[in-house]
Copies of this chain bind each other. A is one copy, B any other.
Amino acid sequence: MYKTLREEAYEANMQLPKLGLVLFTFGNVSAVDRDKAVFAIKPSGVPYESLRAQDIVIMDYDAQVVEGTLRPSSDTKTHALLYKTWDDIGGITHTHSTYAVAWAQAGRDIPIFGTTHADHTHQDIPCAPVLTDDMIRGDYEHETGNQILDCFKDKTLSHHEVEMVLLQNHGPFTWGQDAAKSVYNAAVLEEIARMAYLTLQINADTAVLKDTLRMKHFERKHGKDAYYGQGC
């Protein structure tokens, strides 16, 4: 019944080691089926080398298992809350990729310094603050989702315009129209994080990109008159 969805999630998960975004099992991708109101996610702690499509676990938006014998990713409740709240996203990726984690551990937004960044979003990549002790002691992974949602509300960011976030002391979450796009965004974020790191080492006083240029690059790729790509 969920074969196609499982395969979408499986294929997207297998991109993580190929793109150098995970060490061992430090990451997970999910894909959603909006008609059936379920999502498919990697099982917890299973190495990518031995992962099979049939191991993928099917969950509902309240993080209850719908189908599957393995325990789902320990981060499942975060995925569930994001799917429930942002009802138009199709896939979510979480990794511990090196440079994105470094910015998250440093507790800093990633400033927009160039067009590589602006091709994907016209905003700094936000770093949601570390959870409060009550949130950590409570329903931790669910509250992780809340922390991300609150960060977007507080900064009045659109999750269509910014498809990536850092969680302080933890690491990145990215999303997109489907699972593959969320993985693409995870790789883009890692590269943006690395470039911004190097930029500040060369010139600690680098100013952020000016508005005209950040909007030009974002709009030529994502605006109504976009002319990047093949329009399909």
Contact = CB atoms under 8 A, between A and B. Distances in A.
Nearest to A196: B105
Contact of A198 (B102, B170, B191, B203): B102
Interface string A93-123: 0001011011111111000011110000000
Given A230-B44, A230-B46, A212 B101 contact: no
B197 A202 contact: yes
Contacts of A231: 71
A227 interface: yes
Given A228-B44, A228-B45, A230-B46, A23 B191 contact: yes
Contacts of A70: 230
Interface size class of A (residues with CB under 8 A): 35 or more
B229 A45 contact: yes
Interface stretch (A59-67, A83-91, A128-136, A155-163): A128-136
Nearest to A203: B106
B98 A169 contact: no
Nearest to A99: B198
A54 interface: no
